[in-house]
Amino acid sequence: MFRCPVCDVEFQRLEYEGFPVLRCHACLGYLISRNRMESVRRVQATSVSQLQDEALAEKRDDTNDPLKCPRCRGAMRKEFIEEPASFFIDTCRACELVWFDGGELARLQLSYEISPKGREAAEYQRRMREMTVEQREQFERNLALLPKGDASVLSGFGATLLESLLRFFHASP
């Protein structure tokens, strides 16, 4: 089993949002394959408040030192994840692996929830859950008629969630 690039303890194998990951129980970081990063980011199974709790409770500082890839032992490269997530990940190109320090994976997911795409997806899912089968069919027909990029599906989107997310990212840089 690979070892944590920060604390050198053995990883635990577990699932995160349904995806296999390696986790360090000491520093709470995650090692995941690069091609799963986008899927994990887009999962909306965990509630926003749960993600916020996780991001805060498990928060560790970005590692400044260059890390060695747990698999090939080569030097990992720092890569900046842009606003509002705003942190560095450590990546190995050769192994296609990405290291997230504690709390960063939850932060990455939160940053998706706040994005226009994420809000649209959440609103879409919320409406779908509340609709009867007939309403759902009607809604999908209407949606198909909309011009591409039309934001009408977002009308009525609750501002509360968005505001609480914005506050969260402001309070915890």
Residues that bind Zn ion (CB under 5 A): 4, 6-7, 24, 26-27, 69, 71-72, 92, 94-95
Strand order in the sheet with 97-100: 12-16, 19-23, 30-33, 97-100, 87-92, 77-81
Rounded-to-integer distance, Cα 87 and Cα 81, Å:
5
172 CB neighbour count, 10 Å cutoff? 14
Strand partners, 91: 77, 98
Rounded-to-integer distance, Cα 59 and Cα 53, Å:
10
Which residue number, 94 or 154, has a Cβ lying nearer to Zn ion?
Answer: 94
Encoded amino acid at 117, one letter:
K
In the complex, least distance from residue 102 CB atom to Zn ion, rounded to whole angstroms: 8
In the complex, least distance from residue 105 CB atom to Zn ion, rounded to whole angstroms: 14
In the complex, least distance from residue 69 CB atom to Zn ion, rounded to whole angstroms: 3
Which residue number, 34 or 136, has a Cβ lying nearer to Zn ion?
Answer: 34
Which residue number, 4 or 51, has a Cβ lying nearer to Zn ion?
Answer: 4
How far is Cα of residue 168 from the mean position of the Cα atoms in its chain? 15
In the complex, least distance from residue 103 CB atom to Zn ion, rounded to whole angstroms: 13
Which residue number, 73 or 141, has a Cβ lying nearer to Zn ion?
Answer: 73
